[in-house]
Amino acid sequence: MAYQIVVCGSLVPDPLQTLEPVSTPNGPGLKNETMLPSVLDPWAACALYEAAHLAESVAGSKVYLVSLGPKAKLQQLMMSVAQKVPFELVAVDGSASGFTDAALVAEALAGAIQSIPGLDKNNLLVFGGCASASRDAGVTLQLVCERLGIRDFFMGVDEFKVNADGSFSVLERMEGGCYQTSTCKGAPAVIGWATGSLPEPPNNPRVGMANMRLVMPALMKAKPAPQIGVGGIAYAAAEVPAQKRDTRVVKDMSTDDIAKEIVEWLGK
């Protein structure tokens, strides 16, 4: 059975940059946010690579990348992402701020997925990251699942295997370093990926050129989502966590004393 694999993933500020929260007329934001270089969200990137691997192993499958963000920044991001794996972009022109309301974001993503021409829910797999480096509300993907009317939802997935009878097995992370294995008869399903097991693919200019032929028209047709914002959320304050480092050098200290001191420090 061929799958239609939709990956939800957008841009986040490059983690190597210094991020400083500021107040804006539309609520909290980042200082010079429009000027910050962006990368594809790391967890969404894992989902995209896993989707491409699955599409390659199941004949006839196709990957879509549904991305919500400012069109200009999405265009810059696609110049690098498009060289990784084959996909078709579905762009939504809206805020990529980390302070947006998860319900509004999920509504826009679900609407974009439903607008994909020829979408067949019986063959639909929705991939995304189990977390985000920007808007990590922890509920966005589940809200997308609910809006699409899909019942099977898995979070913190590290492995997805298609069985010979068309069913698939999912390996989910659980508490205490344990895993839970689940088996589904088939699509549709929503998968929130952890880190998976695949490395980042090398750049492939040929794949990039093929993708960019579809990326530019997709960006031109991107539907605006002006409703994306903080919604009814009220932020009292937003600030970078203070860094605290107490260092001292002690010689000839036993391991038991070191361990005891660490436990006492953690208790404080």
Domains and CATH numbers, the chain: 4-224 (3.40.50.620)
Question: For the chain, how many helices (H) and strands (E)?
Answer: 6, 13
**Contact of 238 with 28, CB cutoff 8 Å:** yes
Predicted local confidence at residue 6, as pLDDT: 96
Q: Angle formed by the axes of helices 102-114 and 140-148, to 10°?
A: 40
**Contact of 88 with 67, CB cutoff 8 Å:** no
* Weakly modelled stretches of the chain, pLDDT under 50: none
Checking DSSP bridges between strand 27-30 and strand 21-24, what pairing results, if any?
antiparallel
Predicted local confidence at residue 143, as pLDDT: 92
Predicted local confidence at residue 64, as pLDDT: 95
Predicted local confidence at residue 66, as pLDDT: 94
Cα(20)–Cα(33) distance, rounded to whole angstroms?
A: 9
Predicted local confidence at residue 190, as pLDDT: 94
Cα(63)–Cα(3) distance, rounded to whole angstroms?
A: 8
Cα 122 to chain centroid distance, Å, stands at 23
